[in-house]
Amino acid sequence: MRRQNRILHQCQCPHCLQQEDHPDRELHREFNLLLSHLNEQHRRWVAAFESRRIGWGGMRLVSRITGFSSRTIERGRKELDGQLQSSLPDRPRNPGGGRHRKLTTGQLKRLEYLLSQGATAHGWVNNLWTAKRVAEIIRKHFGVDLCVHTVRKVLKEQLGWSLQKPRLQLRERDDAEIARWKAEEFPRIAAQTHDRHAHLTFIDESGFMLAPTPRRTYAPRGRAPVDKVTDPHARISVIGAITLSPEHKRVRLTFQLLPDNANFHGESVAAFLWILSERVKGPNTIIWDSVRIHLAEPVQGYLFAKDGIVTETFPPHAPDLNPVDGVWSYIKYARLPNYTPFDLSDLRKTLTAELKRLQGQPHLLLSFIRRTGLGLQGVGSDPATRSSADSLDEVGWAARLHRPPKQLQQSASAQPHGST
């Protein structure tokens, strides 16, 4: 009998759910592909064997990879312990046996298309998909009544969907221009940088508030946790640069924190460029946003006086193309969500520690670059790729460098906090 086609389960482990590529993603896909060609008993045994091979936490991981329940994997373990004596290898459940799914394969594909249109396309005022709304779509288009619990299982196990926090984008964003920039402009920039045997540097600014970046956390039902904030508007402005060496053998993170509640302006950006040039010797190509502070007179004056620096700009409203934006997102959402320091002094110490920690993790810096999809060849493929960063004390860093131009020296001396 010809085996029926099965829907390949989408792995729900943390590595496969993240946006950037991970070596486990293809391995888990192949594992699910193998299971899809086995009968019910064999799938159970293979999953049980793999969970034991992994060791501690193996049952939970295999459950996320395959979609099998822990009860099914535990049953397979018991059958393996009994040398498969209690099993009936000659009478596995026939393909198509058991309770049939309420939605066919064609209906699932149609459902995914309908949901991809967004909730507003189906009459709701906001783009929010809930299990109750999805159940209404299924009832309206397929005439099938599913409970909320079953709808969640369909979304998670059959469509591979999960709860996601939307990313905000400006309506002025031009996706066609961004695609053209990636396909035409960036290859030109990379080629010219290679011909000059220059470093490639990405620069971006951000701000960190005393108010925390909220993220869902477990708590007793009906008792939402409360984070107390000293001053929700207090902030620290940070500028960062990720630099690739000419042959992409070394990646460097350079950063600087401004004084409390200070904003970046032309002189402070020019001072950071001087700090960057002291650490990154030789020609350099800088890519950053075309914002006003990057075009200010002190910045342009420094670039005119400094040989070997070429500047390029990202297309408007495209922060996802800048790998430094990945640094800010990683710290805010992965390292410090729900973090409520008592004051800016505590926040400064924590930010400095987190940024210095990133300086010693070149694989993370390279992942931020790969995540942009800019197609830099060879980035991160060489095991010898490593980070290089000089650490300076918070006070007295200017005295340990060559004397900068007078106007930059005055600007830099006013911000001796966390330069690295």
Q: Three-class SS of residue 320?
A: helix
pLDDT confidence of residue 20: 67
Residue type, 399: A
Q: What is the CA radius of gyration of the chain?
A: 27
> Side by side, which strands form the sheet with 199-209?
309-313, 284-288, 199-209, 235-244, 250-257, 386-387
Which ranges of the chain have pLDDT less than 50?
Answer: 1-4, 381-417
- The span from the CA of 127 to the CA of 223, in Å, is 27
Reference 347, options 207, 204, 205; nearest CA is: 207
Q: Model confidence over 228-249: pLDDT tens digits?
A: 899 989 999 999 999 999 887 7
Per-residue pLDDT reduced to its tens digit, 318-375: 999 999 999 999 999 999 999 999 999 999 999 999 999 999 999 999 999 999 989 8
Q: How many CB atoms lie within 10 A of CB 138?
A: 21
CATH architecture of 175-213+231-413: 2-Layer Sandwich (3.30)
Q: What is the pLDDT of residue 214?
A: 87
Domain boundaries, the chain: 14-88+102-158, 175-213+231-413
DSSP E strands: which ranges in 154-261?
199-209, 235-244, 250-257
Q: Is the separation of the CB atoms in 103 and 138 below 8 Å? A: yes
For tokens 């640094």, the residue is: 327
- Secondary structure class of 384 (helix, strand, coil): coil
Indicate the angle between helix axes 406-413 and 266-279, nearest 10 degrees.
100
pLDDT digit string (tens) for 175-207?
999 999 999 999 999 999 999 999 999 999 999
**Beta-bridge partner residues of 200:** 244, 285
Is 372 within 8 Å of 323 (Cβ atoms)?
yes
Q: What pLDDT sits at residue 57? A: 84
- Which positions ≥6 away from 75 have C-beta within 8 Å? 44, 48
Residue pair 32/62 in contact (Cβ under 8 Å)? The answer is no
Burial readout 51-76 (b: 16 or more C-beta within 10 A, e: otherwise): bbeeeeebbebbbbbbbbeeebbeeb
Look at residues 206, 169, 190, 168 and name the one whose alpha carbon lies nearest to residue 374: 190
Q: Which are the contacts of 329, defined by CB distance < 8 A and separation ≥ 6?
A: none
Helix (H) or strand (E) holding 367: helix 362-371
- 71: Cβ contacts below 8 Å, ≥ 6 apart: none
How far is 384 from 174, CA to CA, in rounded Å?
38
The pLDDT of residue 132: 94
Query: In the beta sheet, which residues pair with residue 242?
Result: 202, 253
Query: How far is the CA of 166 from the CAs of 15, 122, 162, 420, in angstroms?
Result: 19, 18, 12, 33
